[in-house]
Amino acid sequence: MTVLETLPARHDHAPAYTARLGAARGDTVTLRLKTTLPVTQVQLKLLEHGEISEYPTTEIPPLDGEGRWFAFELPLIADRVRYAWSLITADDHLNLTMSGLHHTRRAYRDWFVYLSGYAAPTWTWSSVFYQIFPDRFRNGDPSVSVRNGEYEYAGAPVYQEVWTQPITREGDIHAHYGGDLPGVRAALPYLTDLGVNALWLTPIFVSPSNHRYDISDYRRVDPHLGGDAAFDELLHDAHAQGVRVVLDGVFNHVGSENDLFRKAFADVHAAERALFTWRPNHPVPYHAFFDVPTLPKLDYASEAAAREFLDGPDSVVRTWLRRGIDGWRLDVAQMLGAGGTDEGNLELHRRLKRAAREERADAYVFGERFFDAEEALRGDGEDAAMNYHGFGLPVMQWLSGRSLKFLPSRMDGHELVEILWDAYHVLPPEVALNQFNLLDSHDTPRALYRLGGSTVKLRAALTLLMGYAGVPCMYYGTEVGLSQSCEGAMPWCREPMPWDESQWDTALRADVQALVRIRRDTPALQRGALRFLHVESDAVAFTRTLTHADGRAERAVVIASRLEAHTLTLRLPDGAWCDARSGEVLHGIVALEAAGGRLLIQS
């Protein structure tokens, strides 16, 4: 059940309701509940060593002067403490969980959860990320670019493509446009002017292809991107300008030109042989990512593999955090495992995360989990997943009327809200705020193309992105209207960034800049709890509420329509609301233009 703003009981992760997050196991934390129901008693249900215990609560003066408030001192008896509230009236009783108010006891996945001792990388909550595919972003040093025929890879020579030349299937991995790290460094003023304050760079290590997910050497930055010196200069300047940098960790597979694999392939007695899984009677005699011969899969049944890449004293994970990066994005995180499978996947991610936190206490670790990631998001492994399942895919399907694979779809707003809430409500609150939200990426069709070139719908999508719970990330060029030439995902979604401003949609960029500013200036959008306010076939609206320890609430309303023009009538929560763009003040029942999205603020 989707929880609406009108629900007559409230408890969430904000300080008024949960005194503090991340307290240590063995400690206690004050929980509070607010209700307008005529309750005679409120109890707290605690999942305690496999049984459900019921405890009385204490009524307290209302922090905000409204309704009735109750408090309970929660004992942190485990790393994950699950609890619910029982509201008893003269003739009824109700259970309050993250799934709302119900007469029956809900499944444990619906209960509130407290993570003991979990320290979230809270800098991400106030960040707006920007994804850069280095070869296609900006050429800052032509002298380091790949030359025509410089080497052969996978049976064909590499070549340098003209920056303005459209993507072709033939150039999928061999066409190098020449983007590099000096180009990213030169673009930092552009990026900070846009308002972004965190970068995710797809792989930058030595690799033969343009995408660099086939890494030959994890210890060096590719010379064709400028090498280690260019990376150090970029990192220094980015940090000096308040921009964090996250790198792409490809730990499921290596490239076939990686020295570890070459030794293993050449000698059946080599020690490196254990790092891979072999299958002699198969056309590809080793397990590989989707059987692509140039992407041999690592076998984490070998402790040597885990120590080399994940958590050894000088592992790849540790090395680059020591070099100063702010975190890792983990490629195909769901596939890591032993014996050519995903066996042991979650434990491997726990090890990786522990190593990362030992090197940097606020390192951000998020995984590419394209599907339902609920089981991985318990707080002890990745901080977050790329939120395709719980945000990007359903939002884009609803807005475009087509699936990721361009199949027709009649999804309406009710179904959209149902899946958004289902994915959100099962997560520990810090993890929900950590989730890496995106509309498109180097692996998926460009948002503008999926939306049929409609910048009105793109603005609605970006409004949802900046307003939703989690960490927003834009794909390079979205802000100026970069699209693609034909249907599909890779390689078409990897067109080079246009730097000729005459090709920009400057009005779109200005609107994106404004949305980013609002996101970064509004604590409720960064840390607020989520509830839905309004839903119909073609429009949705939700609130983000941050209630402080003194009961004072900061709130935002996020509204989006999938139509080109849409006068939407809805009832706003009590009080005066200010349109964050126009300054218009609104109250009560309003009729407003929802096309392109609206952000309303109340503080």
Within-domain flag for 450: yes
Cβ–Cβ < 8 Å for 210, 174: yes
Alpha helical stretches, state H, 5-61: none
- Choose one of 524, 557, 574: the last residue of a domain: 524
Within-domain flag for 545: yes
**Does 469 share its domain with 559?**
no
Question: Band of the pLDDT at 1, cuts 50, 70, 90?
Answer: low
- The CATH code of the domain that includes 450 is 3.20.20.80
What tens digit of pLDDT does each residue of 434-448 get?
999 999 999 999 999
**Does 531 share its domain with 518?**
no
Within-domain flag for 3: no
Question: Band of the pLDDT at 45, cuts 50, 70, 90?
Answer: very high
- Which is it for strands 152-153 and 205-206: parallel, antiparallel or unpaired? unpaired
What tens digit of pLDDT does each residue of 303-327 get?
999 999 999 999 999 999 999 999 9
Cβ–Cβ < 8 Å for 128, 197: yes
Q: Model pTM?
A: 0.97
Range of the domain at 51: 9-115
Cβ–Cβ < 8 Å for 532, 554: no
What tens digit of pLDDT does each residue of 72-92 get?
999 999 999 999 999 999 999
Within-domain flag for 425: yes
**Does 407 share its domain with 349?**
yes
**492: helix, strand or coil:** helix
- Choose one of 115, 137, 155: the last residue of a domain: 115
**Does 108 share its domain with 131?**
no
CA–CA separation, 139 and 145 (whole Å)? 8
CA–CA separation, 145 and 178 (whole Å)? 5
Residue 198 Cα distances to 130, 229, 524, angstroms: 6, 20, 20
**Does 207 share its domain with 176?**
yes
Cβ–Cβ < 8 Å for 203, 224: no
Within-domain flag for 4: no
DSSP class of residue 452?
A: T
The label of the residue with tokens 């009824």 reads: 92
- The CATH code of the domain that includes 539 is 2.60.40.1180
What tens digit of pLDDT does each residue of 563-589 get?
999 999 999 999 999 999 999 999 999
**Does 321 share its domain with 279?**
yes
The angle subtended at Cα 324 by Cα 322 and Cα 326, nearest 5°, is: 110
User: What confidence score (pLDDT) does residue 2 get?
Assistant: 80
Number of domains in the chain: 3
Within-domain flag for 433: yes
347 exposure class (CB count in 10 Å sphere: 0-12, 13-18, 19+): middle
**Does 515 share its domain with 505?**
yes
- Choose one of 115, 146, 179: the last residue of a domain: 115
- The CATH code of the domain that includes 107 is 2.60.40.10
CA–CA separation, 385 and 392 (whole Å)? 12
**Does 171 share its domain with 284?**
yes
State the angle between helix axes of 506-521 and 455-467 in degrees (0 to 180), rounded to the nearest 10. Answer: 10
Q: How many CB atoms lie within 10 A of CB 80?
A: 16
Q: Is the pLDDT of residue 603 over 80?
A: no
**Does 567 share its domain with 490?**
no
Active site residues: 331, 368
**Does 452 share its domain with 541?**
no
Within-domain flag for 218: yes
The alpha carbon of residue 403 and the mean position of all alpha carbons in its chain are separated, in whole angstroms, by 20
What tens digit of pLDDT does each residue of 50-65 get?
999 999 999 999 999 9
What tens digit of pLDDT does each residue of 388-409 get?
999 999 999 999 999 999 999 9
**Does 50 share its domain with 158?**
no
Cα–Cα nearest to 598, from 390, 394, 480, 459: 459
Within-domain flag for 139: yes
Question: Band of the pLDDT at 493, cuts 50, 70, 90?
Answer: very high
**Does 356 share its domain with 443?**
yes
